[in-house]
Amino acid sequence: MRIVVLLKAVPIVGTERLLDAFRVDRGSGLEANGNDEYVLEAALQLTEQHGGEVTLLTMGPAGALEALRKGLAMGAARAVHVQDDAVAGSDARGTVRVLAAALGRLEYDLVFAGADSSDGLGGVVPAWLAARLGLPYLSYAARIEPGPGGATVRVHRISPTGFDLLEAPMPALVMGTQLLGEPRYPSLRGIMQARTKEIATWSLADCGLQPSEVGPAAASSEIVGATPPPPRGGATIVRDQPDAAVAQIVDFLASRRLV
Amino acid sequence: MGSAIWAVAELADGAPTRLSLELATLARTLAEAMGAEATTVLVAPGAAAAAPALAQHGPGVLVVDTAASEELASAAVVSARVATLAAERGPAWILCGASPDGKDVAGQLAALLDWPVLVNGAAVRWQDGAPLVEMSIFGGRLVTESRPTASPAVIVVRPGAIAAEEAPAPGAVEAVEVVPGRELPAVRIVERVAEAAAAASIEEARIIVAGGRGVGGPEGFAVIEDLADALGGAVGATRAVVDAGWISYSQQIGQTGKIVKPALYVACGISGAIQHKVGMQTSGTIVAINRDPDAPIVEFADLVVIGDLFEIAPRLAAAVRARKA
Ligand SMILES: Cc1cc2nc3c(=O)[nH]c(=O)nc-3n(C[C@H](O)[C@H](O)[C@H](O)COP(=O)(O)OP(=O)(O)OC[C@H]3O[C@@H](n4cnc5c(N)ncnc54)[C@H](O)[C@@H]3O)c2cc1C
Ligand SMILES: Nc1ncnc2c1ncn2[C@@H]1O[C@H](COP(=O)(O)O)[C@@H](O)[C@H]1O
């Protein structure tokens, strides 16, 4: 099974900020998006059990390299890094254009994506990409396995009461969640091996795209204002015995009309 | 393109979800401000029976019954039909809910129509001839306002952006047959597996009582459930306890769980790690019960009770019930 994992390098959670032009600052401190590590883990387990290889694909700045190296150390075979000054500031549509074009140059049975990214929180890139590429789309996966016969993929899609067992022919795009399982830590051996693995760097032109199709120029919305919410903290601290403490909580909730 | 605004609705157990009723209400209020027409589109098996409840909330309802596609994953079926209707009738804006199905539909609609998408709308209002979309980003550390640079566009709206409200006069229901211009690849539902009763949705709850590792084990959650019941709220959780198997993933709050914004969040035995904080820090009021005065949550709560949750929570439940009686 050849699996391409879409791995986004995001600002370290808790340190995100906007640049003056209201774009997300990707200049420093990037890490692999949490959800993408879950789908990577699932991809590695599938290829370990059923044969095949995992390719990482990312669109992002130079700083995304570290997240790719970690993915390679975890066990991916190779990585493709679409890096081009023109793609900075792309919205979801620009991102989909780039990822679709890059996938057009790769061979795969399955494409894996995370449920959402911690900086964008859109969660629409995977569905968009699948429809654009004409791939069956299986989302919110808690479990991914080969279907009977081997030409299909089966996914447990989380439902309000349990899961729906989905099946579709390959190639297909699967979007996955944390329920796929804890990602492994790279082993020392994995880290050593990763040094010799290939990271291909592709430009926009390599993907067959024009700069006008991506980046801020092609963005379809603009941020017109940004305000931090009122600061929190300065909490009232209660250290009384349980009964007295509870009386204080009730008074506090009543004062805010919450009980 | 015209100037109409559409809302894409979805059903749960045969009835419109609360988020769908909110979208219908939002479409109606935006249409009033725009001086345009609002329509709710419902594509589902059994759509006709559920349409009146949507029509109560104002806009006319376009109904497409897809009983024949019941064994297929719904998003591809819905988006192919909504896209075809949109291409025929030309709305300027389409609202989708930020539910799993709603986000799937939004992405697929964008591909089929080649429209842009604004995601994660926490509120939408009409200003200077365009929708202004408020979003909470970076785990609630920043609130932005965005505007589409052109119409048409898809806008994804989170639960709670507006209160669902019935209209003075219900809208008209129109049943239509749609032959999609382009079908998306079908995904078959082999089996629907029920493992547990659906818990109260945390994204829609006004009050959440959440438990973390301090709850000690699956039995410990009885205390959390009881307090939630007394307060009339839903039960939330951290990833630590979901990973431990004490409670279902659907209740997880945080970076790789759900983002919530209740009026009251009661955190019991939760340290307040950044990945949890980003899912709940915009709550109206945060109350923390923790043994450790140095836990990070102390820094962003409004009221902190230092103590053992097993001593505090049951007494609090009793006190709240006594007060309500
Ligand atoms: C990629 C990634 C994604 C993640 N996503 C999420 C997410 O979506 N949601 C999430 O929650 N976490 C997430 N995490 C995990 C997060 O980092 C923390 O590990 C987790 O939130 C800790 O859960 P906790 O507060 O229950 O446990 P702990 O950090 O162990 O805290 C337990 C707290 O309970 C207190 N306590 C213990 N006993 C009692 C008692 N009897 N009475 C009162 N207080 C008591 C302790 O003082 C302590 O503060 C993620 C991590 C990663 C790496
Ligand atoms: N720039 C990117 N490079 C690689 N994958 C991406 C990129 N942006 C989004 N994705 C994939 O799409 C998923 C959902 O992202 P989003 O729609 O931005 O929330 C992520 O978890 C990734 O798998």
- Show the tokens assigned to A244: 């007295």
How would DSSP label each residue in A54-65? EEEEEE--GGGH
Answer whether residue A151 shows pLDDT above 80: yes
pLDDT tens per residue across span A8-66: 999 999 999 988 777 888 887 999 999 999 999 999 999 999 999 999 999 999 999 99
Could you give the C-alpha distances from A101 to A57, A140, A208, B76, in angstroms and in order?
A: 11, 24, 7, 22
Over residues B230-257, the mean pLDDT reads 96
User: In the beta sheet, which residues pair with residue B62?
Assistant: B41, B174
Is the Cβ atom of B270 under 6 angstroms away from ligand 1?
yes
B278·A154 Cβ contact <8 A: no
In single-letter form, the type of residue at position A190 comes to: G
> B255-290 pLDDT, tens per residue?
999 999 999 999 999 999 999 999 999 999 999 999
Taking only the tens place, the pLDDT of each residue in A97-106 is 999 999 999 9
DSSP B253-303: BSTTSB----SEEEEES----HHHHTTTTT-SEEEEEES-TT-GGGGT-SE
Which residues from B are below 8 Å from A128, CB to CB? 107-108, 110-111, 117
Give A232's pLDDT tier (boundaries 50, 70, 90): confident
Question: pLDDT, tens digit, for every residue of A164-187?
Answer: 999 999 999 999 999 999 999 999
User: Percentage of chain A with pLDDT > 90?
Assistant: 86
DSSP for residue B205:
-
The predicted pLDDT at position A28 comes to: 79
C-alpha span between A28 and B68 (Å, rounded): 51
Residue among A133, B52, B75 nearest B83 (CA): B75
Q: Cβ of B153 and A220 within 8 Å? A: yes
Q: Is the CB of B271 under 6 A from ligand 1?
A: yes
B237 CB within 6 A, ligand 1: no
Phi and psi angles of residue A251, each rounded to the nearest 5 degrees, phi first: -60, -45
The verdict on the CB of residue B305 being under 6 Å from ligand 1 is: no
Q: Looking at residues B296-300, what average pLDDT do you find?
A: 96
Of A140, A70, A132, which Cα lies nearest the Cα of A112? A140
Average pLDDT, integer, range B206-225: 97
Q: How confident is the model at residue B2 (pLDDT cuts 50, 70, 90)?
A: low
Assess whether the C-beta atom of A176 lies below 6 angstroms from ligand 2: no
For an interface test with A, which of B13, B104, B128, B132 has the most A Cβ atoms less than 10 Å from its Cβ? B104
Q: Render A67-129 in DSSP notation, one character per residue.
A: HHHHHHHHT-SEEEEE--GGGTT--HHHHHHHHHHHHTTS--SEEEEES--TTT----HHHHH
Query: 3-class DSSP state for residue B114?
Result: coil
> What average pLDDT does the structure give for chain B?
95
Q: Are B184 and B79 in contact (CB under 8 A)?
A: yes
The phi, psi pair for B72, rounded to 5°, reads -115, 145
In angstroms, the CA A196 to CA A194 distance is 5
Q: Which is nearest to B249 in space by CA: A179, A138, A155? A: A179
pLDDT of res. B1: 45
Q: Give A-chain residues touching B248 at CB under 8 angstroms.
A: none
pLDDT (tens digit, 9 = 90+) per residue, B89-98? 999 999 999 9
**Cα A33-A35-A39 angle, rounded to 5 deg:** 115
Nearest residue in chain B measured CA to CA from A241? B307
A137, A170, A182, A213: best mutation site toward chain B, by most B Cβ within 10 Å?
A137
Residue B18: predicted pLDDT: 95
Residue A65 · residue A73 · CB < 8 Å? no
Q: How far is CA B302 from the centre of its chain?
A: 25
How confident is the model at residue A19, as a pLDDT?
Answer: 85
A8 touches chain B (CB under 8 A): no
> In this complex, is the C-beta atom of B316 within 8 Å of any C-beta atom belonging to chain A?
yes
pLDDT at A196 exceeding the cut of 50 = yes
User: Considering only CA atoms, which of B88, B91, B33, B83 is closest in space to residue B60?
Assistant: B91
A19 interface with B at CB cutoff 8 Å: no
At residue B182, does pLDDT exceed 90?
yes
**Cβ under 8 Å to B: A residues 137-196:** 137-140, 142, 154, 156-169, 172, 177-179, 182
The per-residue pLDDT for A217 is 86
Tell me which chain B residue has its CA closest to the CA of residue A100.
B111
Task: Give yes or no for a contact between B86 and B51, defined as CB atoms under 8 angstroms apart.
Answer: no
* Cβ-defined contact of B146 to A227 (cutoff 8 Å): no
pLDDT at B305: 98
Is the predicted pLDDT of residue B192 greater than 80, yes or no? yes
Percent of chain A residues topping a pLDDT of 70: 100
Burial of A204 (0-12, 13-18, 19+ CB in 10 A): buried
Q: In the predicted model, what is the mean pLDDT of chain A? A: 95
Question: Residue A50: enclosing H or E segment and its boundaries?
Answer: helix A34-50
Residue B199: predicted pLDDT: 80
Q: Is the pLDDT of residue A142 over 70?
A: yes
B227 touches A at CB < 8 Å: no
DSSP class of residue B309 equals: H
Give the per-residue pLDDT at B317. 98
Cβ–Cβ of A259/B306 closer than 8 Å? no
**pLDDT tens-digit readout, B44-101:** 999 999 999 999 998 899 999 999 899 999 999 999 999 999 999 999 999 999 999 9
Closest CA to B130 of B103, B92, B159, B96: B92
> In sequence order, what are the beta bridge partners of A174?
A112, A138
